[in-house]
């Protein structure tokens, strides 16, 4: 526990409680402190837990370092266009803590949150109960590893691991590996195994991809210049669908490069469509491999089209670059695979995460368990969320824009607090926010 003398949890009352000590919780704390709002940050484990414990050994950011712009603490290293590796990310967060010394309690999990009839929030924790006028839930977007039920039908001799538990090729038993899923994690883990000389079978899903670099710049830099990171969720007609979008796959490894599944296949990786069934040793796949590869390439090329148009419109001097030419096409779309015949001894489920907010007793969730909010403010006065993907913009669930969202919420929390001083009670979301609820 840091600043232990100043922090008194059981029985204490705080104007604001921030739950979660990742980049979102820390950003919130910084912004509250800037406004003189007394608060506490409660972290179940250690700062940077997610990066420490749920990323593989060769993990590095997919987004360039310059996008790490936590409030008051932008990236300060000498490689702004590079991609921090796992331990550097943890150090960046630890240094942020040293920089402003938030009122942080580590090793304390909030197990229940509810609002009492008097309007106070009651928080039960592993270290006892306390209360708060307002709460910011900053517990991250990725809670419970999601593995499809068919995993239970895999034979016992096959080692199964979720991507959040994958560390390195050596961790898996000798033999071939099946990686299921081609979001950012699945693609990078498949590459990690492939580079280590493992025989990899990859079940390819419908995630899009983006080129790393195009016409002299990182595509992220182009997209930033084109305003994509400033576009708010309110500008989309289908906000719910946008929030469910899967991220584009690309890597920051070795200075950054494309992830081209076709090149992997050319070099020996075996590609399949989506995994649809498991029956003992027999696996079944959809016939969507070609469609999925074509779709990923079409998205990547579409982004290049947009970059070309931006360059032309703004008369920017940028080198020409030839377009991508597919280096491999599936001659067939294998629908079946026998585990034993293929020598597969392990499966890495790169199938994402589910949300788990069951510890929060408040009527703010939609049917899928997603908190209904506008810019993090909910219809329950004083209850806020921070760090949700597309909370307000593309970078909301990431380093890029969590700070902007924290600034907004801190203003809102501070204003609510001042209003409460005048009115005697928290009045909830301001009219402008309330009219926007719920958007789920």
Ligand X SMILES: Cc1cc2nc3c(=O)[nH]c(=O)nc-3n(C[C@H](O)[C@H](O)[C@H](O)COP(=O)(O)OP(=O)(O)OC[C@H]3O[C@@H](n4cnc5c(N)ncnc54)[C@H](O)[C@@H]3O)c2cc1C
Nearest partner of 26 among 140, 110, 141, judged by Cα: 140
Nearer to ligand X, 48 or 273 (CB): 48
Nearer to ligand X, 158 or 212 (CB): 212
Residue 134 in tokens: 């307002």
The residue from 29, 134, 139, 292 that contacts ligand X (CB under 6 A) is 139
Is residue 20 a contact point for ligand X (CB under 6 A)?
A: yes
Residue 266 in tokens: 């050319």
Nearer to ligand X, 182 or 185 (CB): 185
Is residue 351 a contact point for ligand X (CB under 6 A)?
A: no
- Shortest gap between Cβ of 42 and ligand X (angstroms)? 5
**# chain residues binding ligand X, by CB under 6 A:** 31
The residue from 18, 105, 110, 233 that contacts ligand X (CB under 6 A) is 110
Q: Quickly list H helices, 54-85.
A: none
Beta bridge partners of 122: 114, 131
Binding segment for ligand X (CB under 6 A), chosen from 6-14, 197-205, 256-264, 392-400, is 392-400
Q: Residue 99 class from Cβ within 10 Å (0-12 exposed, 13-18 middle, 19+ buried)?
A: middle
Is residue 50 a contact point for ligand X (CB under 6 A)?
A: yes
Nearer to ligand X, 376 or 382 (CB): 376
The residue from 9, 17, 18, 19 that contacts ligand X (CB under 6 A) is 19
The residue from 62, 204, 307, 383 that contacts ligand X (CB under 6 A) is 62
Binding segment for ligand X (CB under 6 A), chosen from 319-327, 340-348, 398-406, 430-438, is 398-406
Distances (CA, A) of 12 to 123, 131, 278, 292, 391: 10, 6, 52, 54, 31
Report the alpha-carbon distance of residue 389 to residue 397 in Å, rounded: 4
- Shortest gap between Cβ of 284 and ligand X (angstroms)? 27
**Torsion on CA atoms 413, 367, 390, 64, rounded to nearest 10:** 110
Binding segment for ligand X (CB under 6 A), chosen from 17-25, 264-272, 312-320, 421-429, is 17-25
Nearest partner of 221 among 256, 186, 254, judged by Cα: 256
- Shortest gap between Cβ of 166 and ligand X (angstroms)? 10
Is residue 383 a contact point for ligand X (CB under 6 A)?
A: no
- Shortest gap between Cβ of 398 and ligand X (angstroms)? 3
Residue 281 in tokens: 């040793």
Report the alpha-carbon distance of residue 141 to residue 135 in Å, rounded: 17
- Shortest gap between Cβ of 407 and ligand X (angstroms)? 15
* Peptide linkage before 397 cis (omega within 30 of 0): no
Q: Which positions from 148 to 167 touch ligand X by CB under 6 A, shown as an x/- string?
A: --------------------
Strands (DSSP E) contained in 120-219 are: 121-125, 128-137, 144-145, 159-162, 176-180, 200-203, 213-214, 217-218
The residue from 71, 397, 403, 428 that contacts ligand X (CB under 6 A) is 397
Is residue 93 a contact point for ligand X (CB under 6 A)?
A: no
H/E element, 348: strand 344-349
- Shortest gap between Cβ of 312 and ligand X (angstroms)? 30
Is residue 138 a contact point for ligand X (CB under 6 A)?
A: yes
Nearer to ligand X, 163 or 380 (CB): 163
Neighbouring C-beta atoms of residue 88, cutoff 10 Å: 17
Beta bridge partners of 249: 209
Residue 337 in tokens: 């695979």
Residues making contact with ligand X (CB under 6 A): 19-25, 42-45, 49-50, 61-63, 109-110, 138-142, 184-185, 359, 387, 397-400
């Amino acid at each position: 526990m840091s600043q232990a003398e100043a922090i008194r949890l059981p029985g204490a009352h705080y104007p604001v409680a921030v739950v979660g000590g990742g980049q979102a919780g820390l950003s919130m704390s910084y912004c509250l402190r800037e406004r003189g709002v007394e608060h506490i940050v409660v972290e179940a484990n250690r700062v940077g837990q997610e990066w420490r414990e749920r990323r593989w050994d060769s993990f590095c950011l997919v987004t360039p370092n310059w996008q790490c712009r936590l409030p008051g603490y932008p990236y300060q290293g000498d490689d702004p266009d590079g991609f921090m590796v796992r331990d550097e990310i943890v150090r960046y967060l630890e240094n942020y803590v040293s920089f402003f010394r938030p009122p942080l309690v580590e090793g304390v999990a909030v197990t229940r949150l509810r609002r009492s009839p008097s309007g106070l929030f009651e928080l039960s924790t592993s270290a006892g109960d306390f209360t708060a006028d307002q709460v910011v839930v900053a517990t991250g977007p990725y809670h419970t590893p999601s593995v499809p039920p068919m995993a239970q039908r895999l034979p016992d001799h096959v080692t199964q691991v979720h991507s959040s538990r994958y560390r390195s090729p050596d961790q898996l038993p000798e033999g071939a590996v099946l990686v299921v899923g081609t979001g950012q994690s699945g693609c990078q883990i498949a590459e990690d195994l492939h580079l280590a000389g493992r025989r990899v079978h990859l079940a390819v899903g419908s995630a899009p991809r983006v080129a790393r670099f195009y016409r002299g710049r990182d595509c992220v830099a182009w997209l930033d210049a084109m305003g994509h990171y400033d576009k708010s969720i309110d500008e989309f007609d289908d906000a719910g669908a946008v929030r469910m979008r899967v991220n584009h796959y690309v890597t920051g490894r070795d200075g950054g490069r494309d992830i081209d599944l076709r090149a992997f296949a050319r070099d020996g990786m075996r590609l399949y469509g989506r995994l649809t069934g498991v029956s003992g040793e027999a696996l079944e796949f959809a016939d969507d491999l070609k469609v999925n590869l074509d779709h990923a390439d079409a998205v990547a090329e579409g982004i290049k089209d947009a970059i070309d148009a931006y360059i032309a419109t703004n008369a920017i001097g940028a080198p020409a670059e030839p377009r991508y030419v597919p280096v491999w096409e599936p001659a067939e779309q294998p629908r079946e695979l026998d585990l034993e015949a293929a020598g597969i001894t392990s499966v890495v489920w790169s199938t994402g995460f589910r949300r788990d907010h069951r510890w929060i007793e408040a009527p703010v969730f939609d049917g899928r368990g997603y908190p209904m909010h506008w810019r993090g403010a909910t219809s329950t006065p004083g209850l806020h969320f921070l760090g949700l993907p597309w909370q307000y913009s593309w970078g909301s669930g990431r380093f890029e824009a969590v700070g902007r969202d924290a600034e907004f919420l801190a203003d809102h929390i501070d204003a609510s607090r001042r209003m409460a001083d005048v009115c005697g009670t928290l009045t909830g979301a301001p009219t402008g926010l309330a009219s926007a609820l719920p958007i789920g």
